[in-house]
Amino acid sequence: MSDGQPADVSPAQQIAAGYATSGAAIELGAVSVDGVVDASATVRIALSMMNRHGLIAGATGTGKTKTLQVIAEQLSANGVPVVMADVKGDLSGLAVPGEPSERTTARAKDTGVDWVGTGYPCEFVSVGTEGVGVPVRATVTSFGPILLSKVLGLNATQESTLGLIFHWADAQGLALLDLKDLRSVIAHLTSDEGKTDLKSIGGVSSATAGVILRALTNLEADGGDTFFGEPEIEPADLIRSADDGRGIITLFELGDQATRPALFSTFLMWILADLFEYLPEIGDADKPKLVFIFDEAHLLFADASKAFKEQVVQTVKLIRSKGVGVYFCSQLPTDIPNDVLSQLGARIQHALRAFTPDDQKALTKTVKTYPTSAVYDIEKALTSLGTGEAIVTVLSENGAPTPVAWTVMHPPRSLMASIGNDAITAQATASALQDKYGQTIDRESAYEILAAKVAAAHDDESAPDAAAPTTPPTEAPHRATRAEPKEKSLAEEILGNAAVKSFMRSAGNSLGREISRSLFGTGRRR
């Protein structure tokens, strides 16, 4: 199988040789050949290669969640923070030690690991204010038009229109902090008073703006408004270590937001894009600064626009140099666009089922993405894997694909079950993040500014014309008015010009409000 290997070296050991590392590594499990597990033939990923991204896939009940748990545990133990979606709630067990059982003991023996129940430092956060963890939010301005279009289910034309509306709000210095801010901006642009502003944007029809407005209203009615606002989550709070040096695992709990999974997954994509803007370039390092895991990744790409997919690809390509590894977890590899799959260095494929013609097509496509193997019939292997077993190939330390390995995965050391909402809430309440993000802040933004303008315009229209002179002006005031410019300096005359005053007011209002938009059109207010 491998040149230079002694003839008496078993196939399992030959495979394991391809996974040898000189530095720290994440140990996944042991190689199995013909149903025999070699506990000394370890399958691992070099810690330095964890920022090369990866895919964890497999049918329901095949052990994907436990694999996520094993990876998160070892990353934390090596001082690497982890951000992951806990869609079903069963990853919360990472926070407490696992309970010994016959099955755990047998698996630990088979895979050559000295198992001890261990809990890991966890933060429980929820997107919006309706979850069980610490509430975290994004401002609409930061979220950007492409991600918001994904949430609203807009088509390409409507997405483009929303981008123009964001641009107009940015130019006017109107902070879009929550959904009512954006709704008020669109309502203004589609009103009689805002027709001129709408025309100035270019390419925006009032009908399309109206569709977006209705979509926003529906999102608010569905409770989506709690996802947006302040205080906005700061990237630095996701890249922390515990006092003992272990990386903190931040678990985004779905909780009561199960009816809005698309918004949940898109919010996580915003978190990743925000991290990209925040982190400096570090190039190759001994270990990543952070590993980001998307569970149920198919939700991220379902009905996604071309612009959205392009930005995901760009983010995955570029964020590696910031020291961030991204791992997608889904039932089928075909859930992930090909352009994204091509960026993923590690493949951990649990069992696939081939009950339907579509399943068979997915299986055939999956087999073609693996290196050829002299040991396994990969198509047969993928449908024969037991629970907690996977077909693995990763990038070795020199960047080459490792041999395909039928891997019996290590058992997690933490609890392989949910700790329950009450325990999650109790831990979130005791977190230092609760003081920072627990209470919603509603400061002056687009909604208040536009409402004040409407009120001022209404007052001007309804007020008596008290400013008009009640008697005909005498000749003296006219002469005084005409003579006044001669007594002013040039600077005073310029500063007194109405147009200049308007410009100065606009500049003052916009000071500190510039928006620098990047990936997905996301951006923070400076």
Q: Cite the DSSP H helix spans in 372-419.
A: 378-382
Question: Is residue 326 a contact partner of residue 65, using CB atoms and an 8 Å limit?
Answer: no
Residue 27 lies in a domain: yes
As a whole number of angstroms, the distance between CA 504 and CA 525 comes to: 20
Query: Do residues 211 and 241 share a domain?
Result: no
pLDDT value, residue 129:
87
Last residue of a domain, one of 227, 256, 278: 227
Res 205: pLDDT: 85
Q: Encoding tokens for residue 325?
A: 């590894």
Q: What is the pLDDT of residue 240?
A: 97
The per-residue pLDDT for 464 is 58
Token pair 């509430």 is at which residue? 135
Look over the chain and give the mean of its residue pLDDT values, rounded to a whole number: 85
60 and 147 share a domain? no
Give strand pairing partners of 324: 290
Q: Which residue has the tokens 């590993």?
A: 291
Distances 129 to 50, 314, 387, 458 between C-alpha atoms, Å: 33, 31, 36, 36
Residue 297 and residue 311 in one domain: yes
Which residue is listed with tokens 């330390």?
A: 397
Specify the CATH number for the domain of residue 42. 3.40.50.300
Which tens digit of pLDDT belongs to each residue from 122-151? 999 998 888 899 999 999 999 999 999 999
- pLDDT for res 8: 76
Query: Residues in the chain with pLDDT < 70?
Result: 1-7, 203, 255-259, 458-516, 524-526
Dist. CA 213–CA 222, nearest whole Å: 14
CA atoms within 13 A on the CB side of 216: 23
With beta carbons less than 8 A apart as the criterion, state whether 161 and 209 touch. yes
**Angle formed at CA 86 by CA 240 and CA 231, multiple of 5 degrees:** 55
Residue 196 and residue 234 in one domain: no
Paired tokens of 85? 């979606």
Total number of domains in the chain: 2
The pTM assigned to this predicted structure is 0.86
Q: Are residues 164 and 289 in the same domain?
A: no
- HEC assignment per residue over 221-287: HCCHHHHECECECCHHHHCCECCCCCECEEEEECHHHCCCHHHHHHHHHHHHHHHHHHCCCCCCCCC
Per-residue pLDDT reduced to its tens digit, 31-90: 999 999 999 999 999 999 999 999 999 988 999 999 999 999 999 999 999 999 887 778
Is the same domain home to 221 and 93?
A: no
What Rg value do the Cα atoms of the chain yield, rounded? 29
Verify that 122 and 163 share a domain, yes or no: no
CA 59 – CA 329 distance, rounded (Å): 11
Residue-level pLDDT at 524: 67
Structural domain containing residue 194: 140-227
- Cis, peptide link before residue 477, omega less than 30° from 0: no
Q: What is the pLDDT of residue 498?
A: 42
With a CB cutoff of 8 Å and minimum separation 6, the contacts of 256 are 130, 131, 132
Q: How deeply is 515 buried, as exposed, middle or buried, from its count of CB atoms within 10 A (0-12, 13-18, 19+)?
A: buried
